[in-house]
Amino acid sequence: MNRSSVLLLLAASLLMNGCASMVSNAASSFGNNLSSSILNQDDPELVRAGMPAYILLLDSFLQGEEDNPAMLASAANMYVSYGIVFADDEARAAKLTRRGRDYADDALCMEFAESCTWRDISYDAFAASLSKVGEKHADLIFTYGFASLAFIRAHSSDWNALAQIPQATAVMERYIAMSGRTTNPSAHSYLGILMTFRGEMGGQMDQGRAQFERAIMLSNNRDLSAKLEFLIGYARARYDRVLNDKLCDEILNATPYADGYTLTNVMAQEDALVLCAEADDYF
């Protein structure tokens, strides 16, 4: 699995907070601190080694608590984050993201019953149902959209998975519309990925560019993984050498140390170092 999907790990911050609240209120500060320490870690291999322990911990919490939406959402985020970023091979990534997506489905289904049928109904019926989702479900909708994107990316050779892109796009657009000022900036990166996933065939390249630029702006230029996704999804897809080189320069010459972004920035720079060195051959 290409590590350019690194930005998806940002969702881990949501699951850590959720995990803490599941255990007890007294543990919430531990969860917040753990989330911060992971996202500010500059050693990706340390995180790779540690995440499976939390996956097993969440599975143990789910034993007898299968009807807890917050717990299911936390498990969904953990499975798809690890699967899309750290899984050793495509088969393993496919397995982990499928399980994560199933957890996200179950979590939303418990809070918004109409979503239980979303995978089996027409797009028009799905869109009509999605429009009824309220602001109180924003976090679950974000997790659902994130898990859908991770699943699609890990199953990119499966046409049935690619057929889910319009639905996943609509989910993320709905999340952004309903969350307003509280929108997670990563949602714009995810939407940009979905809009540029099929290149010119998808017909949304310019809209995708706008989403990447929005994500970068909302992060105050600190999220290097959003710039990496912009480089891959748009600059390289459009064979825009000028933009490619500009993004390469910005990614490689920036400091990776930024609160909440250090881990993903370090990984983005590692990936960019390879991609940018290949620019002459690519273009």
Whether 161 and 147 have beta carbons less than 8 Å apart is answered as no
Distance CA 143, CA 112 (A): 14
Tokens representing residue 38 in the block: 């992971």
Closest C-alpha to 192, from 163, 174, 214 = 214
Distance CA 1, CA 84 (A): 7
- Does pTM top 0.85 for this prediction? yes
At 10 the pLDDT is: 45
Own/partner pairs for 67-71, CB < 8 Å, 24+ apart?
67/110, 68/22, 69/106, 69/107, 69/108, 69/110, 69/111, 69/140, 70/18, 70/21, 70/22, 70/107, 71/18, 71/22
Whether 189 and 156 have beta carbons less than 8 Å apart is answered as no
Distance CA 74, CA 16 (A): 7
Per-residue pLDDT of the chain (283 residues; tens, 9 = 90+): 445 444 444 444 444 444 444 444 434 444 455 666 778 889 999 989 988 988 888 888 888 778 889 889 888 988 998 998 888 889 999 999 999 999 999 999 999 999 999 999 999 999 999 999 999 999 999 999 999 999 999 999 999 999 999 999 999 999 999 998 888 899 999 999 999 999 988 889 999 999 999 999 999 999 999 999 999 999 999 999 999 999 999 999 999 999 889 999 999 999 999 999 999 999 9
Q: Which amino acid is at 15?
A: L
Whether 51 and 45 have beta carbons less than 8 Å apart is answered as no
Domains of the chain listed by start with CATH number: 3-282 (1.25.40.920)
User: What residues contact residue 255 under an 8 Å CB cut-off, 6+ apart?
Assistant: none
∠ CA 130-141-29, rounded to 5°: 160
Distance CA 54, CA 39 (A): 15
Distances (CA, A) of 50 to 54, 87, 101, 176, 214: 7, 13, 22, 31, 32
Distance CA 83, CA 151 (A): 9
